[in-house]
Structure 1
Amino acid sequence: MAETAAAVAYGEGVPCWVDAQLSDVEAGKRFYGGLFGWDFHEVPEAHDARGAHGRQGPSVGAFLGGEAVAGLAPKADGRLPTVWTVHFTTPDIAALVGRIRAAGGQVITPPTPVGTLGAAALATDPEGAVFALWQPGTRCGFGRRHLPGSFTWAQLYARDVNVAESFYGYVFHDALFGPGAAPDFGRAALSEVFPPEMPPHFLVHFAVTDLGEALGTVERLGGRVRALPFGASYGRVAVVTDDQGASFALLQRDWQGRTSAP
């Protein structure tokens, strides 16, 4: 069986959740439901909570096989970017915010309760890459990950990889790049995939069983292929956007015989 959220023991610095900030959540449900087979349910706890992204209004949880895999949320302001954001878990969000500031990052939105689900904050690293923090309440994070149709990797594209390693190593106590590094996170120079004018950013990866078929589905649903399939140390990757412009990646690994996440 796939992991359940209650069974996952997320250490600090592990990617525990992803959500998309969209202009049209209903359109997002059609796109991602068609691509990954997700079902959607509203999140009552978050309806009146002004969360990490400053939004208000109904958010929806995405589910696969009855397990939570992601969230879709309305943008608070139409001028804000349409993006996927990765959340890193922490048992003490206030202390982590302090380390981010001390290491040269910025806190966009301070720690904010999201109903009973937990507390969230939004920050940037010294180069401007945006990420979120999550201190669990009733929601620990993913109910399913590393399986087709769910989150499997977060790649940081940085201008200076050494700066990134220094910052995240300090902020998360080497959880990302140290000897016991989280298996769901990597970093690379922007020039490896993107043009130099692209700002530093995190790219959320979702697992698929057949990359070519998934790319065809993306285009059929109105999305676009931004980077054709290329090989990486963690699998075969393609970068796409949904029909509203949110970028993400599709990752094909060898799933033969695999029924649960590590």
Structure 2
Amino acid sequence: MTDFPEGAPCWADAMFKDVEGAKTFYSEVLGWTFGEASSEFGNYTQAYSDGKAVAAVVPPMPGGDDMPSAWCLYFASKDVNKTAEKIKAAAGTVLMEPMQVGTFGSMAIAKEPSGAVFGVWQPGDHRGFEKVAEPGSYCWAEVYTREPGKADSFLQAVFPYAAQKMEPGDDPEAQGMDFKVFSLGGSDSPVLGRMKMGSEFPDEIPSYIQVYFNVENCDDAVAKAKKLGGQLHFGPMDSPFGRFAALTDQQGAAFAVIDMATRVGDMPEMSAA
């Protein structure tokens, strides 16, 4: 089982009013199966791909029925209390103070200064993803923000990231794009992207973290999502990283799918940020 370094994305879960509906949706789109709900921990239910834990779904906490459905990405921490203090010192907000979750580990929920919500996970018995970057599992994430300066400085203050900026080169679609990649252990170990939100994003959409799941066929996954009431917002589009699309499920939770085996074009140049 993988041990995730400080600052690496290590887990993802989502809250749904209709948990059974979510299970049906992601079973069809991503091929997931689901374990038994843990009544001791708010009916938290793990999802599996090929028998390996890849995510979880959970109903709203008491009084949280008005909260929108959304995926939450967790970053690994060796000491969740220290990470929470770093978050506060870097102008972030701790929405849920560090708490222990049985023998599984300890968690906190926070918001970076431009508004994207994320989790922090200090592992115990539950280490995190048991499968990554394979069909049916998490593979990438990007922070979407209208205030990239705030997000960038925060991320590097809280986690040991090195940053690189993507150069647009001759690609007309990349002109004016403000995109950074954050890495751990050298520039060849990227763990997170950051994209500046442009005018194509409606004003009511706040900063958020887009979670990508790897699929064998992007177009098939999109077709299944639409058949089950999901909405397509972007793509499918070819890229040097894979063929991808941005979606929301039938309950409004945003996510993306990418076929990492289908790559088109040259990798963009990166420069020190």
| TM-score, reference length from structure 2 | 0.83
Please give the per-residue CA displacement for 1:158-206, whole angstroms capped at 9, x wherever unaligned: 1122222211011002264566265231111111863454211101100
Identical residues among aligned pairs (%): 37
> Alignment RMSD, CA only?
1.9
Which residues of structure 1 form unaligned runs of 5+? 1-5, 50-56, 257-262
Could you tell me how far 1:232 is from its partner in structure 2?
4.9
Structure 1 stretches of 4+ with a deviation exceeding 6 A read none
Q: Distance in 2 between matches of 1:146 and 1:193?
A: 29
1:54 alignment partner in structure 2: none
| TM-score, reference length from structure 1 | 0.86
1:215 aligns with 2:215: no
Could you tell me how far 1:237 is from its partner in structure 2?
2.1
1:94 aligns with 2:42: no
1:241 aligns with 2:226: no
Equivalent residue in structure 2 for 1:60, among 45, 49, 54: 45
Equivalent residue in structure 2 for 1:139, among 117, 126, 139: 126
2:100 alignment partner in structure 1: 113
Which residues of structure 2 form unaligned runs of 5+? 163-181, 264-273
Alignment of 1:1-262 (within 5 A): 6=1, 8-42=2-36, 44=38, 47-49=39-41, 57-76=42-61, 77-174=64-161, 176-177=182-183, 180=186, 182-191=189-198, 194-232=201-239, 234-254=241-261
Larger relative CO (CA 8 A, sep 6+): 1 or 2?
1
Q: Distance in 2 between matches of 1:91 and 1:65?
A: 28
Partner amino acid, structure 1, of 2:29: L
Indicate the structure (1 or 2) with the bigger Cα radius of gyration.
2
Please give the per-residue CA displacement for 1:39-80, whole angstroms capped at 9, x wherever unaligned: 111253xx334xxxxxxx211100011100000011121111
Q: Distance in 2 between matches of 1:188 and 1:139?
A: 30
1:179/1:91 Cα in 2 relative to 1: closer, same or farther (>3 Å)?
closer
Q: How many pairs are equivalent? A: 241
Conservation of the 8 A alpha-carbon contact between 2:243 and 2:262: no
